[in-house]
Amino acid sequence: MNPPPTADAATASASAPFVGGSAIDVGAERARTAGSTLTSHFNAAGAALPTHAVVAAVVDHLRLEEQKGGYEAAAERRADLDAVYASAAQLVGADTPEIALFDSASTGLRILLDALRPAAGQRIIASSSTYVSHALHLMSLARERGIDLVIAPYDAHRRVDVPALEALLSDGVPSIVTVAHVPTSSGLVEPAAQIGEVVQRYGGTYILDATQSVGHLAVDVREIGCDVLVTTGRKFLRAPRGTGFAYVRDTLLERLLPIAPDVRGAHWTSSADWELVPSARRYETWEGPLAARLGLGVALEEAAARGIPETEEWLVETGARLRTALAEIDGVTVADPAGSHSALVTFVIDGVAAADAVVQLARRGVRVVSVPATHGQWDLGDRGVPSVVRASAHVYNDDSDIAALVDGVAAIATGILR
C-alpha cells in the first residue's frame, strides 16, 4: 500500500474525471439539497438527504391537514396520492395495479411472505446477503412451521452461484427464493436477472429485496423476472422515512392472499364473507403516512427526471473511486467482495472499531455508518468480520466530500485522530 494521502492528494484523486463523463449536475443537486452543504453525507444506503421539493410536499400536506382535517386533506389530494402508484410502477417497469405502498421494506416483505403462506414441505432459499429483519422472519417461519430454510450457494465473490442454485432447484421441492439485490453489509450486486430466469424455469417464487437498488441501479421487474419486489423510499430514492412500495406480479395476486385483510383492500360483503380488491392494494392498510407518501411521489418523479441510467453510472463510478482511494491508505482494507459495482463501499481500519471510526469521522463532518455482523450473520458473520464502516454516496456528493472522507480515514488509520 502507498502512504496515506494528504489533503491535496485526496483532493486530486477525488477530482479525477469520470470514465465516459457524467450527465449528473452535482452542483444543481447540491443546490436543492440543504443538508449537502452542512456535512459530507455518505449514508444514502441508510437514509439519503431529501430535496427541498420533497420536504415541501410533506410540510404542505401537513399544513393542509392542520387547516382542513386529515380526511378532508386526503380527499383533496386524492389524485396526487393515486399518482404515486403510477410513478412507482413506471420506475420499476410494472403496471400500476401491481403496486402497493408500505411504511417500510421490512413491512412489505413480512406481509407478502406471510401472504404466500409457506408451510411444511416447502423450502425457502435465501441469499447470504439477506438483511437481519428479513432473516429473522425467515428463521421464525422455519422454526415454527417446519419449513426447510437454505442459504443459497454463493461463488468466490459471494454472489449467488446461479448454476448451483439451478442444481438445488432441480430436485422439484416447491421453493421460495428470496434475494437481497444489494446487501446492507457490502457493495455486492446480486445477478438478479440470472436468478430470475432459473427460478421461473423451475416454477419457484422469486422475491427481490431491492431496498438498496431502486433509485441506485436500473431495476426492471420484467427483465429481472421477479414475482415480488420490495423497496424503501428513504434510501436512494431520497424520499421521507416511513415510505416504501412493493410490486406483485399480477398473475400472483390470487395466490398471495393477505393473512389479515383490511378495509383498505377488502370489501365486507356479508356476515361471513369478503372480497379483495383486484390490485396489489389488497395488501395495504387504511391508515398510512399520507404526507410522507406525497413526498415519495415527488422523489419518484425527481429520480425519473434525473435519469436512472445516468444516476447508476454516476453512483457506480463514485463507488469505484472511493474504493480505489481507500485501498491506497495503509492500515485500511476495503471489505467489499471483488467485482462489487455499486455506490456502497465498506472498509475496516486496522485496530479501530467501526463504530469508533464513525464517531471520529462525524467530528470531522463526515457522515458514515457502521454495520455490525449482527445485521448480516450470513455474510459478515460467515466471513468472520465483526463490523465494517459503510460509506454510500449519492448525486449530491462532490469532490470536496470525497476528499473529506478519504482524508478523515487516513487520519484515523495513521493515529492522528486516536
pLDDT 10s digits, 247-278: 999 999 989 999 999 999 999 999 999 999 99
Provide the H-helix boundaries in 246-353.
290-306, 308-327
Q: What is the pLDDT of residue 15?
A: 35
Q: What is the pLDDT of residue 417?
A: 56
Which amino acid would we find at residue 285? T
Higher pLDDT, 7 or 111: 111
d(CA 4, CA 16): 18
For residues 83-108, give the mean pLDDT: 98
Read off the C-alpha cell for 41: 453525507
Q: Is 351 left (phi over 0), alpha (psi -120 to 50) or beta?
A: left
Q: What is the pLDDT of residue 394?
A: 98
For residues 189-202, give the mean pLDDT: 98
Q: Length of the chain in residues, anyone?
A: 418
Say if CB 51 and CB 238 are below 8 A apart. Answer: yes
Q: Domains, the chain, ranges and CATH?
A: 7-50+307-413 (3.90.1150.10), 54-305 (3.40.640.10)
Q: Which residues pair with 232 in a beta bridge?
A: 244
Model confidence, pTM: 0.93
For residues 203-209, give the mean pLDDT: 98
22 pLDDT band, cuts 50/70/90, is low
194 pLDDT band, cuts 50/70/90, is very high
d(CA 79, CA 412): 52
Digit-coded pLDDT (tens) for 356-374: 999 999 999 999 999 999 9
- How far the first Cα of the chain sits from its last, in Å, is 21
Whether the pLDDT of residue 9 is over 50: the answer is: no
Q: What is the pLDDT of residue 415?
A: 87
